[in-house]
Amino acid sequence: MSNQASNKIKYLLATGAVDFSSDVFKVILMQSGFTYDKDAHEKYADVSGSELATGNGYTAGGGTLAGVAVAEDDVNDRGSVTWNNFSWTAAGGPIGPACGAIIYDDTEGNDAIVGFIDFGSDYTQVDGGVATLASLTIRIS
């Protein structure tokens, strides 16, 4: 799994428009075939057309993340933002296929893309199973 921060989030951090300690962040799943563009995908509206549709335990617009932690990594010359694991339970059919997840700032008036977590291949959670995104981390360098 790889991840990429958006260029927009780097700008918003520099201007003080994003506050990881108080803003609300959400995670959404992206349809198979979605290609992330860290330059062009700035806001939720830029990617919402490629999000999985509501159904089978998944709700479009995403789930709210909790437990944010921000760390400095002097060895690799970057910062990282990590949230608690997040899960969806497939009910009434499968969730997916999804090629990755987008984390965005859902604070009113912002909706900036924080970054993309690439699953490396499509993933489908079968009916009755639990799809868990573990170690949700976006690295900012």
**Separation between Cα atoms, residue 86 and residue 102, nearest integer Å:** 13
Output phi, psi for 50, to 5 deg.
-110, 5
- Is the C-alpha dihedral spanning 29, 35, 36, 39 positive or negative? negative
Domain count of the chain?
A: 1
For residue 37, which of 46, 28, 45 has the smallest C-alpha distance? 46
Residue at token pair 């993340």: 65
> Cis omega (within 30 of 0) on the bond before 94?
no
Q: Which residue has the higher pLDDT, 5 or 29?
A: 29
Q: Which helix (H) or strand (E) holds 10?
A: helix 7-15
Range of the domain at 61: 2-140
List pLDDT tens digits, range 53-75.
999 999 999 999 999 999 999 99
Mean pLDDT of 78-93: 95
- pLDDT tens-digit profile of 13-44? 888 889 999 999 999 999 999 999 999 999 99
Q: What's the predicted TM-score (pTM) here?
A: 0.93
pLDDT band at 2 (very low <50, low <70, confident <90, very high): low
pLDDT band for position 138 (50/70/90)? confident
